[in-house]
Amino acid sequence: MHTPDPVETILARLMPPALSDAGQREIEAMLEALAGVSAASLPAKRTAIPWLRRIVTGGIAAAGVATALVFPLASRPAPSSWAAVAPSGNSPTANPPAGMVLVSESDRIESMTDDGWQEDPDGSTMHALRLNVVEENSLLDEETGIVMQVSQPREEILLMPVSSF
Amino acid sequence: MDSPANKWKQWLAANGPRLLLFARGWSNSRHDAEDLVQEAILRMWHHQEDKGGGPPDLPLVFATIRFCGLNHHRSESRRRKREESIIYLNDFQDVWLDPVLEEDEDALLLRDAVQNLSPKLREVVVMKFWGGLTFMQISETLAISPNTAASRYRYALEQLAHELRRMKEYRHAHA
């Protein structure tokens, strides 16, 4: 039977703290959104992980843009709420044409495949993962009240340094 | 029957603290660590969709947090290159572990010692002690042999014991 090391006995008197209330709420809301219970809250939750968008990539924009859905908007949201999700990136919808307002934006990871080990330009060994991401933006035509959903698939390569001991 | 979201929430309630503790090793602050946990859970959700949609095994989540943390560290390092000489600035009021008992001097000393372990030793201690993983699971998470995982754990305990003695002597000398 394993006899606890004296240090282990002291370590047992230390406990990891729980997630903060705000952090717990954000993750739970994300889970709800992912499960489709509260899909509308997904874009707002995504802002809580700002560097998710800054994933290291050797990214290659893969495919074109598809306009997917067009449906009438029952009631227009207040302009102040649109500003909260205004784009900051360089996507095609970052600067929507006059009369169009960006209502929401999201990035969805569709699939992830292991590309094995690769060598970066510095000669370091890296573990590569290939991600298929779909960026989805909703644009509101102010004149007609129609919302268009624009989907843009892209491919990203995530590189992780391989460490040794 | 429980909805998928509820299953994941229950899983998060049971495992959130240990995931947060592990993420602390890859983050500058508690807030960043929570972001890291959230990113890992997001990735895990999509990963599990093809496997029935239930919560993942803990070793896989540790590996994903580590993966995200390495990646984040790499991009941050690039961004801060030539701007800062120190990458990780710890907020020493923002502790990683809480003592079960108040004024537990040994536990408080060890808490500091755990935080100051090298990352390679600390992640093994965290996964083994607070994560409840076996050396086999740790070895799979870190892509090392089980013997190496066990060696790192023993070496970490020796370092912690040494550091505990050193800090106690220092305190007594300056009491």
Sign of torsion, CA A83 A87 A92 A95? Answer: positive
Q: Which pair of tokens denotes residue B29?
A: 């602050």
Q: Shortest Cα distance from B15 to chain A (angstroms)? A: 9
CA A84 to chain centre: 16
Same-domain check for residues A81 and A154: yes
Which residues numbered 63-102 in A keep a CB inside 8 Å of some CB on B?
none
* Helix H or strand E segment including B155: helix B146-173
Query: Would the pLDDT of A74 be above 50?
Result: no
Based on the number of CB atoms within 10 Å of its own CB, is A49 exposed (0-12), middle (13-18) or buried (19 or more)?
buried
Element (H, E) at B114: helix B105-116
Whether residues A110 and A92 fall in one domain: yes
Q: Is pLDDT above 90 for A146? A: no
Whether this model's ipTM surpasses 0.95 comes out as: no
Please write the tens of the pLDDT for every residue from A98-112.
777 777 777 777 777
Task: Pick the more confident residue, B128 or A146.
Answer: B128
- Residues of the domain holding A23: 1-48
Q: Which of A8, A10, A131, A159 to mutate to test the interface with B (most CBs of B within 10 A)?
A: A10
Of B8, B74, B110, the CB nearest to A14: B110
Q: How far apart are CA B55 and CA B9, in angstroms?
A: 9
What is the mean predicted confidence (pLDDT) over A130-140? Answer: 82
Least confident of A87-96, A114-123, B83-92, B101-110: B83-92
How many CB atoms neighbour CB B111 within 10 A?
20
**What pLDDT, on the 0 to 100 scale, is given for residue B142?**
92
d(CA B57, CA B163): 34
**Domain identity same for A118 and A66:** yes
Same domain assignment for residues A77 and A156: yes
In a shared domain, residues A15 and A65: no
Rounded to the nearest 10 degrees, the angle between the axes of helix B4-24 and helix B30-49 is 140
Q: Nearest CA to A69 among A135, A133, A146, A134? A: A146
Query: Would you tell me how many other CB atoms lie within 10 Å of the CB of residue B30?
Result: 19
**Alpha carbons B105 and B102: distance in angstroms, whole number:** 9
Contact A48 B106 (CB under 8 A): no
Residues A84 and A147 in one domain: yes
Interchain pair A14, B71: CB under 8 A: no
Per-residue pLDDT of chain B (175 residues; tens, 9 = 90+): 578 899 999 999 999 999 999 999 988 888 889 999 999 999 999 899 888 889 999 999 999 999 888 888 776 666 565 455 444 444 445 778 888 888 888 999 999 899 899 999 999 999 999 999 999 999 999 999 999 999 999 999 999 999 999 988 888 888 7
Residue A36 shares a structural domain with residue A62? no
pLDDT of residue B173: 85
Q: Where are the alpha helices (DSSP H) in chain A?
A: 6-11, 21-34, 42-46, 79-83
Q: Round to whole Å and give the CA distance between A76 and A147.
A: 10
User: Is there a single domain that holds both residue A19 and residue A64?
Assistant: no
CB B114 within 8 A of CB B122: yes
Q: Both A43 and A61 in a single domain?
A: no
Say whether both A24 and A68 belong to one domain.
no
Rounded to 5°, angle at Cα A55 from B53 and A161? 95
Do the chains contact at B75 and A54, CB–CB below 8 Å?
A: yes
> Does residue A61 carry a pLDDT above 80?
no
The answer on A103 and A75 residing in a single domain is: yes
Residues A63, A128 share a domain: yes
pLDDT at B81: 57
Looking at per-residue confidence, does A48 or A1 come out higher? A1
Q: Are B75 and B89 in contact (CB under 8 A)?
A: no
**pLDDT exceeds 90 at position A165:** no
Q: Can you tell me the distance from the alpha carbon of A43 to that of B86, in angstroms, rounded to the nearest whole number?
A: 33
Q: How many domains does chain A have?
A: 2
